[in-house]
Amino acid sequence: MSEFVQQCLEELIPVFELLQSVGLFSTKEVKEFVRRCRSYEYRLQKNHKDPRDFLLYAEYLYDALKMVRMRRKKLNYKFKYSEIDGVFKSKIASTYRRITVLFKGKKELWRKRLNFLKDEKMRVRCSKAFFQAIQIMGNDIELREEAALWEFNDNKSIDNARLHLQLALRSFPEAVSLWICFLKVEIMNVQRLKERRSVLVREAEAQQDVEKSSPSKEGEEGKNNASGDISSDSDPIMNYKLAEILIDQAMEATEITDKNELLIGLWRCAFQYRDVAKNIEEKLYNCLWSDGKECEETLTVDPHEALIIYQLAIDWTIANAPDKVDAIFKRAMLLGTREVMSAIKAIRLKYCKIAYPDHPEVFRKEFSKLYSSPPNDKDFYETYIRLEMEMPKPRKDLILKAYENYVAEHGCCYYQCWVDYARYLMLTKPNDVSSLYQRAVACIPKEQYDSFTQSWTLMLQRS
């Protein structure tokens, strides 16, 4: 065991000597540093491996590296980076690699290793670590997306980014987030290529200005041709052909059951980069509206089945375009059938209470506004009464008024509204129950009288 420990310490001997010779650490600090490193190395050589020992050693070395950087800044010492900082980083990375090899299934250990490599910009090691982590945790879709985005943004490798996403889609073709991530990478790649091309064009134009006075016409023509080649748009990648192929493959994937979610996600991704991907954004936008036209046709052909479509439209608008919610409700209540309009009114009341929890007057004004536009279904009254009762400070006068309107509109054909009204009066104005009974008997149809009497009796017994 001591031989392995000594061998590991010998790798750090040049660092120990440099720290002391350049004055970053004192002699006492170097001795303490060597002692602590030897202690940690012995702990790593135990037969029973403990991941905490590796983590403590890596964190201790990282703290030492941070101290070295602080001393550098304080002493304004800007030399020997590879001999000191580079060795520290290599040792820490090696320690994290050993722990992930010994304990492959622990995701948090891989996360510490990847975070360290990304923070220290150790790109070659980090790229390998991502591939190794995916081999162990291949079911982690978020890890695959993170690897692809890191390869493109930090490692500047579009090939590795595509490789990660292609392998991921081969295993998980139903993952919508992977398709969206792939489209994002392709759009950002075109954006990067266009920025590079613009730099080259400016350099070519500057070179032409310098050589403008040159008598050599051939050289000038050569520069013009070069500039023309740089600015040409014949490259399929620059014209988003790969992105279009990707979108077509995504929409044709049979494993994806909810194509609407996929289409909306792709459009949002393209919308973020609409300055450079306007054609892609417009194509996806038109695809979204093609489904909307089908819904319009459905509403025209069978208006009685429109409630489900309106509910979906309201839910989507609340989540994605809150400023257009009122317009959707207005259209549904104007164009829908009687049944649809009544159901939408109840949904509108629920929305107002949830959207304005601290302003109950908005909910109450909306009820008065909707009530003034009959017809009003039973569910409309029952929804308002229930929501008003759930208020922190319910207004009894408004509830009584709602019940009066309820029985006035539906009391002649629906006896249960009288029973519900009486049940509430038993709690608030029990002396008015007898007069309500006389009104109910005079209004309800004869064929419902027996059922009404039975329900009324049960209500009195339970009150």
User: For residue 37, what pLDDT band results from cuts at 50, 70 and 90?
Assistant: very high
How many Cβ atoms are within 10 Å of 315's Cβ, its own excluded? 12
pLDDT of residue 227: 47
216 against 52, higher pLDDT: 52
Residue range 1-23, pLDDT digits in tens = 577 888 888 888 889 999 999 99
pLDDT of residue 294: 56
pLDDT of residue 120: 95
Q: Which two tokens stand for residue 205?
A: 């134009």
pLDDT of residue 301: 47
Cα–Cα distance, 148 to 184 (Å, whole number): 11
Buried b (16+ CB within 10 A) or exposed e, 419-433: bbbbbbbeeeeeeeb
Residue range 83-134, pLDDT digits in tens = 999 999 999 999 999 999 999 989 999 999 999 999 999 999 999 999 999 9
pLDDT of residue 304: 55
User: For residue 228, what pLDDT band results from cuts at 50, 70 and 90?
Assistant: very low
Cα–Cα distance, 313 to 254 (Å, whole number): 25
207 against 64, higher pLDDT: 64
pLDDT of residue 303: 54
Q: Is the pLDDT of residue 230 over 50?
A: no
pLDDT of residue 74: 92
pLDDT of residue 5: 84
Percentage of the chain surpassing pLDDT 70? 91
The structural domains of the chain, with segments of one domain joined by +, span 173-290, 291-462
Q: Is the pLDDT of residue 223 over 80?
A: no
pLDDT of residue 72: 93
DSSP state of 173: T
User: For residue 446, what pLDDT band results from cuts at 50, 70 and 90?
Assistant: confident
**Which of 122, 49, 123 lies closest to 91 in space, CA to CA?**
122
Mean pLDDT of 33-49: 91
Cα–Cα distance, 251 to 269 (Å, whole number): 15
User: For residue 226, what pLDDT band results from cuts at 50, 70 and 90?
Assistant: very low
The letter for the amino acid at 332 is A
Cα–Cα distance, 258 to 198 (Å, whole number): 40
Residue for token pair 């039975």: 454
257 against 182, higher pLDDT: 182
Question: Phi/psi of residue 311, each to 5°?
Answer: -60, -45
pLDDT of residue 171: 93
Considering the domain 291-462, what is its CATH architecture? Alpha Horseshoe (1.25)
Q: Which two tokens stand for residue 23?
A: 């004055």
Q: Is the pLDDT of residue 357 over 90?
A: no
Q: Is the pLDDT of residue 338 over 80?
A: no
pLDDT of residue 297: 56
How many Cβ atoms are within 10 Å of 255's Cβ, its own excluded? 9
pLDDT of residue 331: 80
User: What is the Cα 163 distance to its own chain's centre?
Assistant: 23
pLDDT of residue 51: 93
Mean pLDDT of 271-286: 87
Percentage of the chain surpassing pLDDT 90? 45
Whether 200 and 232 have beta carbons less than 8 Å apart is answered as no
Cα–Cα distance, 11 to 37 (Å, whole number): 11
| Mean pLDDT value across the chain | 86
Residue range 382-400, pLDDT digits in tens = 999 999 999 988 999 999 9
238 against 55, higher pLDDT: 55
Q: Is the pLDDT of residue 221 over 60?
A: no
